[in-house]
Chains A and B, each alone.
Chain A
Amino acid sequence: MSDHHHKETFITKYIFSTDHKMIAKQFLITGMFMALVGMLMSAVFRVQLANPGEYSVLYNLLPGGWVSEDGALNPDKYLALVTMHGTILVFWVLTAGLSGTFANFLIPLQIGARDMASGFINMLSYWFFFLATVILMSSIYVEGGPASSGWTIYPPLSALPEAIPGSGTGMTLWLLSITIFVVGSLLGGLNYIVTILNLRTKGMSMQRMPLTCWALFVTAILGVLSFPVLLSCGLLLLFDRSFGTSFYLSDIIINGEALHYAGGSPILFEHLFWFLGHPEVYIILLPALGIVSEVIAVNSRKPIFGYKAMVGAILLIAFLSFIVWGHHMFMTGMNPFLGSVFTFTTLLIAIPSAVKVFNWLATLWRANIRFTPAMLFAIGTVSAFITGGLTGLILGDSALDINVHDTYFVVGHFHIVMGLSAIYGMYAGVYHWFPKMYGKMMNKTLGYLHFWLTFICAYGVFFPMHFLGLAGLPRRYYTNSSFPMFDGLSDINEIITFFALAGAVAQAIFIFNFVYSIFKGTKASKNPWKSNTLEWTTPVERIHGNWPGELPVVTRWAYDYSKPGAEEDYIPQNVPLKEGEEEH
């Protein structure tokens, strides 16, 4: 184990740190920066959708040449913005920003370990991520612009610079960046798995692990199994682009010229991509659901209802997530029988999801709820998970997907169930563990304001999108003014844009609260939320090695809240069972 008495220099403490807590903060800050970039991008394209072709002061944020002389956003740069927004939010914010932060921060602290199994590999994982970030950001400024073929980068559009300018240098950098990103995320994921399997403190059996750790553990397994497929998928695309192979390309004429590619299939790419892509949804969602389970239990002052069922649901969702990828491809012309199989497996996911929702509701029932900002966001997550999850029953049904596939109905669905649930979960996590991360409290009132504004604006943005979709409006359209059938939809677009801009401004409250509290926040106590898990038994001042003396010994599960017969309404996991006391 690492020696916690050695001297730390500025560089080993803040930059090349091997301390999991510092690495978690590095992931968090990088993730927050990328979230800001991704959000500003969405603000720009929302402005375009509300006022097609008109100049907006937000366009000043864009690199030169993205806006035409009459002040309109270029259509292919609109696609560039959509693509980068998706890439950044899915991979940078909700994968690395969420898992990277909380897996690093919580796993060693909650299982009672001094650090990750390998601090050095953990450090590498962040720096690979950082390098990937630098490359992705620089791709915005290359000639032709960044990747513009949607975050799913389907070839041939992503393979041929003649098809769209962003498929030139920008796409090469995108692939390079993702490759490095995957390396970083695999190093991190392996570390999380090994740490959980080997470094649990005495008494911390798997059956006593907090649900956060269960979720992060299963997430890491999903990542390790699926990200390599994305890596190979991207490498084959790189080969097609640079070395003339035909994995994905065939029978193509572009600019009046027949290309040499023969025998490849773009559908192969889609299979490989979505074999990662669907587990990826749960790589994003599960950590948030784990955080929410923890935050709800702590602030309800009640045990999480149905702990075993919650673990079972996580495992079942993870398993099913590997056999449903085809529901992204119902309209590719694949064999209809295959479509039937994927419909069947997809709709099954509703069962463990329903179990989770009912268990959260049962946890809130007859609780004594303390509304910390984290708790508000946790309830927000449950709401978003219900609202967005239900529309999955429409999209997962191949027959219904025929008419809503790739419309705004999909955009509304996944932004609520995956985007909002995960972002709310992330906010819940930051508000909840901020005292442990920085030894300070975040301002409560600003937290409340942040939640309520975000909650209102987010539903104002994403709920109306279902109606756009049911009106037949395809996603990724620069404007819907080319079709008279969509003329009636401009009101909806304006409402969405209004809420999007207001929601973006509301996030400034959070950023301010976060930065201000780090430096000027009131000092946190050791266990401000009266929580049971082990991280709250560590000292407020950060030390390398987590516990100054011996590691705590665990004797009970993490959810002994309001247990009859106890003096207080919580019993930390390291408090021995009283004589005759039953373990829940």
Chain B
Amino acid sequence: MTNLLIALVVLLTIAAMVQLVRVNELLSEITNKDTNEVTDEDNNQNGILFIIIGFGFLAFVIWQMITWDHLLLPPASSVHGAEIDGLMKVSMTLILVVFFALTPMLFYFAYKYRGKKENTAYFFAHNNRLEVAWTVIPTIVLTALIIYGLRTWDRAMNPDVSDATVIEVYSKQFDWTARYSGTDNVLGDANFRLVEGRNTLGVDINDKKAADDIVVREVHLPVNKPVLLKFRSRDVIHSAFLPHFRVQMNCVPGLSTQFAFTPTKTTAEMKENEGEDFEYVLLCNKICGSAHFNMQMKFVVESEEDYNKWINSQKTVQNTLTLK
């Protein structure tokens, strides 16, 4: 029944359009003018529409910026993230200035120079000074932006990790597991061929460094302490995305990747600002299969004291997997 109705609506719409066009053509026969020729009236109407709809679009953009501002991610909860936010602010300001300068100019020109039969356009084919100006100015602005960007990138990618807590983040379809490196702060060897039963990460239980490793399904981090995340994947490419910390890195089977950062705000502090429901969360941000949209793990940032209490209550690999 619905299909029939839809078909009916489609047919009626087509019939209506045919009639519209027919009327147009009959009119053209009566007045002996080609109705498809663009008239001054058409130019006038479309010029005015560029003002109304064009500037309406700009108003829509401003409305979105005001209405949806509260939905955007809160300021970064990490040291390098704050620097990225600074760069973002500068870049965003720049592109908004250019956007709000050029777009109105385009729509205004369309309106202002709308054609009239008696007018003639101004023959103006080139001007080297103008070309040089609008090549050089963007070049200078971009050079500054590139230098600022590269410095931020360099600092984010090469932090001091000498005293960072090492944690492995392990991905598979469709969940995350983490492994703390324990008191020696060194991860024990692991190999995908050793994955079996409860040893879901393929930890080499004969490796002494593995004995104190701790496998968990929820990550806790001490605030203001650097942490080095090392990523592995066992099946397809996943991407570890921690939007609140401005952290993202792909997890690639057969390849080891990493990202270091220092969290600066505890979960409790965030709850105060963002509401009781707030949690730091790790998402998968690379298409990985049917449940890609629900691949997550909770992150908790807390005081060092709370963190120590938590980590000491967790079982080590030595305790969970039988060692020889």
Contact = CB atoms under 8 A, between A and B. Distances in A.
B113 A446 contact: no
A403 B246 contact: yes
Interface stretch (B36-44, B181-189, B313-321): B36-44
Contacts of A179: none
Given A267-B255, A307-B125, A371 B38 contact: yes
A183 interface: no
A156 B47 contact: no
Contacts of A383: 54, 103, 106-107
Contact of A471 (B64, B73, B95, B156): B73
A482 B283 CA distance: 10
Interface string A379-395: 10011001100110110
Contacts, number: 368
A508 B72 contact: no
A368 B64 contact: no
A331 B34 CA distance: 58
Nearest to B21: A443
B77 to A, nearest CB: 12
A562 B119 CA distance: 10
A225 interface: no
Most central of B84, B113, B278 by chain A CB within 10 Å: B113
A394 B236 contact: no
B53 A394 contact: no
A368 B25 contact: no
Interface in B131-157: 131, 134-135, 138-139, 142, 145-146, 149-150, 152-154, 156-157
Nearest to A255: B235
Given A369-B114, A393-B145, A343 B247 contact: no
A271 interface: no
Contacts of B53: 452, 455-456
A522 B28 contact: yes
A266 B14 contact: no
A336 to B, nearest CB: 4
A488 B278 CA distance: 13
Given A441-B36, A470-B72, A484-B277, A370 B293 contact: no
A467 B293 contact: no
Contacts of A470: 72-73
Contacts of B107: 383
Interface string B15-27: 0011011001100
Interface residues of B, number: 125
A569 B60 contact: no
B36 A306 contact: no
Contacts of A354: 134-135, 138
Interface stretch (B208-216, B218-226, B284-292, B303-311): B284-292
Contact of A569 (B57, B121, B192, B294): B121
Interface string B89-113: 0011011001100110111011001
A290 to B, nearest CB: 18
Interface string A163-196: 1100000000000000000000000000000000
Contacts of B83: 399
B51 interface: no
Given A60-B3, A444-B42, A474-B285, A402 B17 contact: no
B130 interface: yes
A201 interface: no
A344 B151 CA distance: 12
B120 interface: yes
Given A253-B195, A399-B84, 18 more contacts: A75-B293, A156-B253, A263-B254, A305-B124, A309-B126, A332-B252, A333-B257, A358-B134, A367-B122, A372-B38, A383-B107, A397-B153, A445-B20, A448-B42, A472-B241, A512-B17, A522-B36, A584-B125
The 8 tightest CB contacts between A and B, nearest first, are A250-B254, A333-B257, A472-B243, A336-B157, A371-B46, A76-B290, A366-B122, A477-B293
27 contacts: A75-B293, A306-B130, A333-B255, A339-B157, A340-B154, A347-B146, A350-B138, A367-B121, A367-B122, A368-B115, A376-B46, A379-B110, A390-B99, A399-B87, A403-B81, A403-B246, A406-B241, A407-B285, A443-B21, A443-B24, A448-B42, A452-B53, A470-B73, A472-B283, A477-B293, A509-B17, A520-B21
